[in-house]
């Protein structure tokens, strides 16, 4: 007999209470779970610093996972484009994915342009106090454009890419990020050390 799903599925969905809590999971891992949310222009150094940071945390025997924008565009969010609506949906999905990982007791590192304040405020609201650590790489656009590791600025300037953040689509800077750094004044290694010190000083690691 084939099972027929009701159209009113929401009333049939119940949240299951888990016997193992986030506290139990983090205690096993000997760390305070959180999400370290990198934001900044393309070319600001987000992915590079995030990768070095994860390596450093690994040497400290911390349990981590790095969520990278390009990687997720190939998998979970491969159906999304780059309209403002799709960018919002991209960050919404990533925020909920990160929330599940933090609930698993992990230190999650997320590297996304996430250009709009509303996106970041709504994502922060998913997490408990002190679990969302916003890292703003405030690298000048001139430096980002000079680096242009993917050739995206060149394509945007020539009109091949529309609504490119920093060129013809706005980037809204954070008002009160936990950590703000200029990626043109420090090496990625130095930037990662600043974040490690923050995590230590706030008893996260």
Residue 68 pairs in a beta bridge with: 111
* DSSP classification of residue 14: -
Fold of the domain built from segment(s) 32-200: Rossmann fold (3.40.50)
Using pLDDT thresholds of 50, 70 and 90, give the confidence band for residue 10: low
Per-residue pLDDT tens over the stretch 93-113: 999 999 999 999 999 999 999
Please confirm, yes or no, whether 192 is among the known catalytic residues.
Answer: no
Within a 10 A sphere around the Cβ of 22, how many other Cβ atoms?
Answer: 15
Comparing 103 with 74, the larger pLDDT belongs to 103
CB 73 within 8 A of CB 171: no
% the chain with pLDDT above 90? 68
**Which one of the listed residues 42, 44, 114, 192 is annotated catalytic?**
114
Using pLDDT thresholds of 50, 70 and 90, give the confidence band for residue 66: very high
User: Domain spans of the chain?
Assistant: 32-200
């Amino acid at each position: 007999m084939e099972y027929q799903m009701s159209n009113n599925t929401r009333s049939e969905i119940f949240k299951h209470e888990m016997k193992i809590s986030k506290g139990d999971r983090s205690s096993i891992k000997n760390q305070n779970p959180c999400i370290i949310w990198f934001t900044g222009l393309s070319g600001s150094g987000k992915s590079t610093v995030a990768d070095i940071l994860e390596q450093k945390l690994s040497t400290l025997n911390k349990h981590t996972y790095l969520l990278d924008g390009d990687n997720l565009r190939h998998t979970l969010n491969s159906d999304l484009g780059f309209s403002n609506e799709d960018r919002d949906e991209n960050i919404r999905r990533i925020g909920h994915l990160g929330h599940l990982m933090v609930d698993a007791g992990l230190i999650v590192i997320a590297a996304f342009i996430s250009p709009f304040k509303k996106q970041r405020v709504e994502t922060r609201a998913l997490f408990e106090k002190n679990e969302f650590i916003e890292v703003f790489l405030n690298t000048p656009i001139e430096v980002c454009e000079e680096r242009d590791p993917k050739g995206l600025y060149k394509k945007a300037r020539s009109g091949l890419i529309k609504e490119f953040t920093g060129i013809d689509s706005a980037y809204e800077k954070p008002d009160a990020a936990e950590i703000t750094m200029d990626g043109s004044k420090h090496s990625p290694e130095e930037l990662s050390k600043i974040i490690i010190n923050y995590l230590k000083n706030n008893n996260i690691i």
